[in-house]
């Protein structure tokens, strides 16, 4: 015997198709995917905004450092010019040129305990009867920081008219210290 087939009406077919479509829609959580995409887009926006803010701040810091460096150089130049335009009484405190200055400082370094002190980089600038003489020691190495500081202190105290314009001390591997120091002295021009 043959089973009886029932024919569905158009309304029943439409109801079954609607139920199947609703079931398929329930299996595809479109709202969750849409929410995830919105959250991802928002986080990308805030990441880009934060990155731009960081880059702007970095640029501002770089410009501020450059401005500070220029102001520092201008202040130093201004102070030098003030000393040049000083009265004769102030001019009398400038020292006479010392041709043995480098060897004197080398002797002070050796007697301070620094073994094999390097020769300094020397530069001079002359204006209106005054010479600015700068001696810069780079890579002065010693195991004892006390000996390095003793050297700087003794040069300031034992060499007339000498002042320190730059100092940088940093540790080096193996329990040693590296120092960079710059000395400046104003001398009457010859």
Q: Which two tokens stand for residue 104?
A: 């004197």
Q: Is the pTM of this model over 0.85?
A: no
CB-count exposure of residue 143 (10 Å: 0-12, 13-18, 19+): middle
* pLDDT tens, the chain, 190 aa long: 556 666 778 888 888 888 888 887 777 777 788 899 999 999 999 999 999 999 988 888 888 888 888 887 777 777 766 665 655 554 455 788 888 999 999 999 999 988 888 889 999 888 777 888 899 998 888 888 888 899 999 998 899 888 888 888 888 887 788 899 999 888 877 6
Strands 130-142 and 176-188: antiparallel
158 three-state secondary structure: helix
């Amino acid at each position: 015997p043959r089973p009886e087939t029932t024919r569905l009406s158009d309304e029943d077919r439409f109801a079954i198709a609607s139920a199947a479509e609703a079931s398929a829609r329930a299996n595809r959580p479109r709202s969750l995917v849409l929410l995830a995409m919105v959250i991802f887009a928002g986080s990308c926006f805030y990441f880009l905004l934060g990155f731009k803010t960081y880059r702007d701040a970095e640029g501002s810091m770089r410009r501020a450092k450059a401005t500070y460096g220029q102001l520092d150089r201008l202040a130093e130049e201004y102070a030098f010019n003030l000393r040049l335009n000083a009265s004769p009484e102030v001019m009398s405190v400038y020292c006479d040129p010392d041709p043995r200055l480098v060897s004197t400082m080398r002797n002070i370094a050796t007697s301070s305990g620094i073994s094999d002190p390097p020769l300094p980089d020397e530069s001079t600038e002359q204006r209106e009867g005054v010479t600015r003489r700068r001696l810069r020691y780079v890579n002065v190495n010693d195991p004892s920081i006390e000996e390095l500081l003793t050297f700087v202190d003794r040069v300031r105290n034992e060499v007339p008219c000498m002042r320190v314009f730059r100092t940088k001390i940093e540790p080096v591997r193996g329990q040693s210290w590296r120092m960079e120091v710059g000395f400046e002295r104003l001398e009457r021009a010859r």
